[in-house]
Amino acid sequence: MAKFKKVIVAGPLVVECVYPAPNPRDSNGVRAGKKEMSSEAQRRMNLKYAYQKLELLIAANFGIRDLYVTLTYDDAHLPRNGAEARKIMQAFWKRLRKARKEKNQELCYLYVTEHKHGDGRWHHHALINATGDDYNLIRHLWGQGGVEFKQLRIDRDKNFETLAWYLCKEQRDKVGLRLWSGSRNLRKPERECFRVPNDTPLSIPPNSPLPLMDTGDVATAYGHYRYIKYLAAGWETTIGPRPKAKRRCRRKRP
């Protein structure tokens, strides 16, 4: 009896799943059971939730050397609504893109706009590809309030998944809704699905620097499936000592 193997590669992040394939000789009842079980096995692979799509998009485009930036507003520049906040961000990206273009540098970014938690003030969380000379430029081009830089962590406690959850926290209950915006040049994760022999093993490679999830063999009445997620060999993580995050730089009020 054959199985299906589905693989998603997003930068250093690899997601794999092996699950039984329906057989043409199966009875209607067995076929229905396998279909239901396959749906269960693919639940994580189907990217049903917004944070799952965002996790892969982040992994495909950003790493620990890139920028995780929080942009806030002082009282003099606080937007009145979400539309105004997004308009301000669009103007900011335009300025940053122009500055990068003058240096023949690419701009790749992804961001969310929030205001429902904390003090209720509009602010933005953004991921931006780093060029090595970004801090002063971003502070200068923002000019609306505070700028905070943090290192993008990739370890057991904080990684692509936890960051995606955090960025989707305000509207997490709206399944499938796109909660973020990004540049048009964001790379898409690579996906493939193919048949494999029934005895095909699935395990996290021993040279993976960071195993993230392994369900083990999950048994059902119609066969077994297994789901794994890990970082591929050769990619850096932030396991171990980490450099200190940059302090927030607040705009002086008049």
Do 134 and 176 lie in one domain? The reply is: yes
Residue 97 falls within a domain, yes or no? yes
Residue 243 falls within a domain, yes or no? no
- Model pTM above 0.85: no
Give the CB-side neighbour count of residue 234, counting CA atoms within 13 A: 4
Do 12 and 112 lie in one domain? The reply is: no
Domain range for 126: 60-182
Using CA atoms, how far apart are residues 107 and 110, in angstroms rounded to an integer? 10
Residue 212 falls within a domain, yes or no? yes
Q: Express each pLDDT in 107-148 by its tens digit.
A: 999 999 988 666 779 999 999 999 988 999 999 999 999 999
Amino acid letter for position 244 = K
Say what the pLDDT of residue 45 is: 47
What pLDDT band is residue 250 in, cutting at 50, 70 and 90? very low
- At 109 the three-state DSSP class reads strand
Q: Express each pLDDT in 169-213 by its tens digit.
A: 765 444 444 678 999 999 999 999 999 988 888 999 999 999 999
Q: Express each pLDDT in 58-112 by its tens digit.
A: 999 999 999 999 999 999 999 999 899 999 999 999 999 999 999 999 999 999 9
CA distances (Å), origin 202, targets 16, 42, 48, 197, 214: 8, 15, 23, 12, 10
Do 168 and 212 lie in one domain? The reply is: no
Burial class (CB in 10 A: 0-12, 13-18, 19+), 215: middle
Say what the pLDDT of residue 51 is: 81
Do 197 and 227 lie in one domain? The reply is: yes
Q: Count how many domains the chain has.
A: 2
Give percent of the chain with pLDDT exceeding 70: 76
Angle at 92 between CA 133 and CA 148, to 5 degrees: 55
Are 215 and 228 in contact by the 8 Å Cβ rule? The answer is yes
Do 67 and 178 lie in one domain? The reply is: yes
CATH code of the domain containing 143 = 3.30.70
Do 166 and 199 lie in one domain? The reply is: no
Encoded tokens for 102? 């003058």
Burial class (CB in 10 A: 0-12, 13-18, 19+), 77: middle
Give, for 31, the enclosing helix (H) or strand (E).
Answer: helix 28-41
Do 129 and 213 lie in one domain? The reply is: no
Q: Name 157's Cβ contacts closer than 8 Å, sequence gap at least 6.
A: none
